[in-house]
Structure 1
Amino acid sequence: MNEWNFGRNIAGIKLLVELGMDYGVDEKKCLSGTGIKHSNLNDAAFIVTGEQELRVIRNIVTLLRGEQNLGLSAGQRYHFTTFGMLGFAMVSSPNLKIALELALRYFNLTFAFCQFSIEETEQEVRVKINADHLPAELRKFCLERDITALITIQRELLEVDSILVQTSLAIPTPSNPQPYIEFFGSRVGFNKKITLAHFDKNKMQQPIRQANPLTLQQCEDQCAKLIERYCSRIGLAARVRAKLINDIHMDMEKMAAMFFMTSRTLRRQLDEEGTSFIKLRDEVRCALAEEYLSALNLSVDETSHRLGYASSSSFIAAFRRMTGKTPLSFKRTNEGGV
């Protein structure tokens, strides 16, 4: 599994969908290919994979290709409350430097795709952000979003002037750099080899006003439990589901081979997670069917063919069993958007 493909709370995708909609992209187009439904967006217990969130980013970036500072806009929407228990742990930390170290220790509770590392000099704490491991067409958005979110949260936790000394961005110089200057300040550079945020070391060690050691300890305990829970929810079943979203025609033998195991082992491990290959395939088929019928406006016959059903009648029966509606009834209900 990719190092960024850890289990995540649905809050990150919900925020991205809201970003897309504010720029005029329909919710269904934002969620296309993810298997995520509208109802999932408001389910605080719903866990998604990094692959699903990256698919939302790809959808939005592709549809809004002309927007120059989309990642900058996205990053400013992330607040410490967005990160739930981790955010409250950070605001309870003694100072910003410890809060940053805490965020890196519980990195799997963030929504980041970039890699973060810290280096220190006598006067600065430098946060290096790398996106080289991500698809080339998504690196600019992810770099912009992740560094902007970092600085947005820093400003919420510690309202100290000039704590950000300078910023180096590994992105092309925008045609209109003013939005970047307004956010990062005048000492922002483009076309750099690496993305770096330079913070004043002394100011980072100033106390956070809301610091509380007891609350911090309680929040850290909860963060550890959340990571354990997310890991258990992002097991083999989630990875099988993600593969099926990309290829719904994949059979169990081929799926098992992709995970370097036998079909018998795959069946046993899925059973241990309380599911089966057939059940997962039905779930994905249902989600894709709803997307094809509503977002892509395909006919019942076209949807049936794409999903690999032997006949339209087989598809109609299966769809009714899974949703309680016929495909045509669902299509009519959802005409005009969510």
Structure 2
Amino acid sequence: MSVPWPARRSITSIQLLTQLGLDLGLSLDSCLHDTGLSPVQLASLNGEVEAQRELQLIANLIEALPDVDDLGLQAGRRYHLTTYGAWGYAILSSATVRQAADLGLRYHGLTYAFTRISLSLDDAIASLHFDDSALPPALHDFIVQRDMLGALVVVRELLGSALPLLALELRQPAPADVSPFAAFGQVPRFGAPGNRMGFAADLLDNPLPRANPHLVSACEQQCQALLARHQWHQGLAGRVRQLLLQSPGQIADMEQVSGRLHLSSRTLRRRLTEEGTSFRALQDEVRQALAEELLAAGGLSLEEIAERLGYGELSNFIHAFKRWKGITPGRYQRGS
């Protein structure tokens, strides 16, 4: 089953969850156990991490705090609109709730949710659904609680007031103490077929107080770029790109990459075709990305850059770059 989240995400969510653990008495080492993250990496303001590291951190919190029944709810309260970067500002600047919902769901991959969120309309009721089918079972309740309450926090800050819910349903069984769930504004119906928050559909047409069409446009462009960058690391193609990036001076061939992936060249070729790409296309993407980065950084001659990218002749590099960008690498560098 494919997962509904990008392979990489902002480190902000890990920072929020680590602080939750610290506030509840855990040590930093306990929080970061088996995540592969160091305190220095954790402090990065603009870092990105593999989603799997966050899942490991969540598992650490659950294991270390087994008596905290509302752990997911405590986490959800911390996800304010301003923690989402360009995605948050895009929906905050939307003209209506409907536009905010459309933008939010279109760029859902930029949120910190591990559930797959969708919107449905049924007569006078609009519902946000939180599909948990891809979640690791041991993390299910925490993630659903966090994602749903986190979404409600965002909507509350977007509207400037609490969202009146007409329905609140969770798949998890009812806990012994339901009082912490009052954070939603009402106690959920537990043991439901799905996870859902329902509200009056006419709310979607309400204008928002901070509407700014120019800012929405600018933020959406940022969202597009961020999502493309995150998706660059997804699937088998993402793993191939990462391997190619690890040795740019050599630009590994298909046999080398397939060997590192423990696949035959034929299987690698077939699976990349299923993802709509090819090994040669991925080599080209990586070379282009590295070329643009090296040209913008300066300090290397065109000959040195060509050599690093695995081109035997400078002319071959120039020809490839003109095919990518429509201009020579020298002209691109002067304009950077």
> TM-score scaled to structure 2, two decimals?
0.70
What SS does the aligned partner of 2:17 have? helix
Between the two proteins, the alignment pairs up a number of residues equal to 261
Q: Matched residues in 1 for 2:191 and 2:233: separation? A: 39
What SS does the aligned partner of 2:197 have? strand
Q: 2:50 corresponds to which residue?
A: 49
* Greater shift in the superposed pair: 36-45 or 205-214: 36-45
Q: Does 1:236 align with 2:239?
A: yes
Q: Matched residues in 1 for 2:184 and 2:88: separation? A: 22
Q: CA deviation at 1:228?
A: 2.3
Q: Does 1:188 align with 2:188?
A: yes
8 A contact 1:108–1:227 mirrored in 2: yes
Q: CA deviation at 1:258?
A: 5.7
Q: Matched residues in 2 for 1:195 and 1:209: separation? A: 29
Q: CA deviation at 1:92?
A: 0.3
Closer, same or farther: CA 198–208 of 1 in aligned 2, 3 Å: same
Larger RCO: 1 or 2 (CA < 8 Å, sep 6+): 1
Deviations 1:100-132 (A, max 9, x none): 221110111111111112110221110111112
8 A contact 2:6–2:51 mirrored in 1: yes
Q: 2:261 corresponds to which residue?
A: 256
Q: CA deviation at 1:17?
A: 0.6
Closer, same or farther: CA 53–258 of 1 in aligned 2, 3 Å: farther
Q: Which amino acid aligns with 1:83?
A: Y
* Greater shift in the superposed pair: 14-23 or 155-164: 155-164
Q: Based on CA coordinates, which of the two structures has the bigger radius of gyration?
A: 2
Q: Matched residues in 2 for 1:29 and 1:238: separation? A: 32
Q: CA deviation at 1:166?
A: 2.3
* Greater shift in the superposed pair: 139-148 or 156-165: 156-165
Closer, same or farther: CA 18–204 of 1 in aligned 2, 3 Å: same
Q: Matched residues in 2 for 1:28 and 1:161: separation? A: 37
Closer, same or farther: CA 116–177 of 1 in aligned 2, 3 Å: same
Q: Which amino acid aligns with 1:257?
A: H
Q: Which amino acid aligns with 1:104?
A: L
Q: 2:123 corresponds to which residue?
A: 122
Alignment RMSD, CA only? 2.8
Q: CA deviation at 1:160?
A: 4.0
Deviations 1:44-101 (A, max 9, x none): 2311111111111111111112211111111110011110010000100112232122
Q: Matched residues in 1 for 2:209 and 2:70: separation? A: 32
What SS does the aligned partner of 2:117 have? strand
Q: Matched residues in 2 for 1:185 and 1:2: separation? A: 30
Closer, same or farther: CA 3–201 of 1 in aligned 2, 3 Å: closer
Q: Matched residues in 1 for 2:231 and 2:123: separation? A: 38
Q: Matched residues in 2 for 1:124 and 1:55: separation? A: 37
Q: 1:103 corresponds to which residue?
A: 104
Q: Which runs of 5+ in 2 are unaligned?
A: 244-255, 270-278, 291-336
Q: 1:202 corresponds to which residue?
A: 202
8 A contact 2:118–2:129 mirrored in 1: yes
What SS does the aligned partner of 2:118 have? strand
Q: Matched residues in 2 for 1:106 and 1:219: separation? A: 11
Deviations 1:148-173 (A, max 9, x none): 00001100000345532221111121
Deviations 1:216-236 (A, max 9, x none): 011101111112233346632
Deviations 1:172-213 (A, max 9, x none): 2122111112x1223521121211000111223211111111
8 A contact 2:4–2:134 mirrored in 1: no
Q: Matched residues in 2 for 1:231 and 1:133: separation? A: 18
8 A contact 1:163–1:203 mirrored in 2: no
Q: Matched residues in 1 for 2:117 and 2:8: separation? A: 18
What SS does the aligned partner of 2:7 have? coil
Q: Matched residues in 2 for 1:120 and 1:233: separation? A: 34
Q: Matched residues in 2 for 1:161 and 1:117: separation? A: 20
Q: CA deviation at 1:255?
A: 4.0
Closer, same or farther: CA 227–167 of 1 in aligned 2, 3 Å: same
Closer, same or farther: CA 51–9 of 1 in aligned 2, 3 Å: same
8 A contact 2:18–2:28 mirrored in 1: yes
Q: Matched residues in 1 for 2:117 and 2:62: separation? A: 22
Q: Which amino acid aligns with 1:48?
A: V
Closer, same or farther: CA 60–237 of 1 in aligned 2, 3 Å: farther
> TM-score scaled to structure 1, two decimals?
0.70
Q: 1:38 corresponds to which residue?
A: 39
Q: 1:23 corresponds to which residue?
A: 24
Identity, % of aligned positions = 30
Q: Which amino acid aligns with 2:171?
A: A
What SS does the aligned partner of 2:261 have? helix
What SS does the aligned partner of 1:217 have? helix
Closer, same or farther: CA 32–254 of 1 in aligned 2, 3 Å: farther
Q: 2:180 corresponds to which residue?
A: 179
